[in-house]
Amino acid sequence: MLCKEWWELVERYRAAVNVYNDAANALSDSPGMTFTDKWQRAERARTKCSRDRADLLDHEHAHGCLESQQPSRNRQTNRSIVVDQ
């Protein structure tokens, strides 16, 4: 079952993705300090986005809260196997 912490991490990651998207879209071909400032903002946003994604994946691995959401690999189906004789 998905836990409260997982949902909080998803929301934090989603927000970081949006900030990164906005920062990347703000990059322009303006030379000099304007571009450098925007580039640095985008890099900080990218780093935070990456860190938040890693936190989410670490939580999923350590807590196992997605395991019950995954289809079972050992689940039997109702299909019959027909063998020519």
- pTM higher than 0.85: no
Report whether 20 contacts 45 (CB < 8 A).
yes
| End-to-end C-alpha distance for the chain, whole angstroms | 46
pLDDT tens-digit series, residues 24-78: 998 877 777 788 899 999 999 999 999 999 999 999 888 887 765 554 444 444 4
Virtual CA dihedral for 53, 55, 57, 62, nearest 10 degrees? 180
Q: Which amino acid is at 81?
A: I
- H or E element that contains 34: helix 33-63
